[in-house]
């Protein structure tokens, strides 16, 4: 990439982002997919899923006139463009997204269901014990 390189955004089908990303990287364009972790607990079991922060959108590095090969990748619906050029994502916006991704600022953590309610102990019915054979014989 040159000094004129900048970040741009393309739209894909959200279910195909992980398939489209390596195809774009084959065209010598760096990519970035911001994700977050969703952690929750239910019935004492912990579950975790990684999800796309912006489903259906993939960031890629491009030159001002070199974004056409990204638009031709199968699975890319469109490149967000303005006046025939790929719209630029500012460095400040990318810095905020990348740092938020690294520092896990967007994660959703809900551990409310992790602790189970304590079980109630069944009350034992008190029964009379029989006297031992010796005690019965002595009586």
pLDDT attached to residue 120: 65
Give the start-to-end residue ranges of the domains of the chain: 6-116
Q: Is residue 47 classed as helix, strand or coil in its secondary structure?
A: strand
pLDDT attached to residue 26: 95
Looking at the DSSP bridge assignments, the partners of residue 61 are 7
* Measured CA angle at 95 (ends 21, 82), to 5 deg: 65
Averaged pLDDT in 10-residue chunks for the chain of 139 residues = 84 92 94 94 87 95 90 94 90 95 92 68 71 79
Contact in structure between 48 and 114 (CB atoms under 8 Å): no
**Domain 6-116 adopts which CATH fold?**
Alpha-Beta Plaits (3.30.70)
């Amino acid at each position: 990439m040159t000094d004129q390189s900048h970040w741009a955004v393309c739209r894909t089908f959200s279910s195909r982002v992980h398939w489209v990303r390596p195809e774009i990287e084959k065209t010598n364009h760096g990519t970035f997919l911001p994700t977050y972790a969703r952690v929750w607990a239910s019935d004492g079991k912990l579950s975790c899923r990684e999800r796309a922060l912006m489903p259906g959108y993939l960031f890629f590095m491009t030159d001002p006139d070199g974004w056409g090969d990204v638009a031709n990748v199968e699975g890319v619906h469109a490149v967000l463009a303005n006046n025939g050029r790929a719209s630029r994502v500012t460095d400040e916006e990318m810095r905020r997204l990348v740092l938020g991704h690294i520092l896990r600022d967007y994660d959703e953590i809900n551990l409310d269901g992790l602790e189970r309610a304590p079980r109630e102990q069944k009350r034992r019915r008190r029964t009379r014990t029989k006297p031992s054979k010796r005690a019965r014989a002595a009586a």
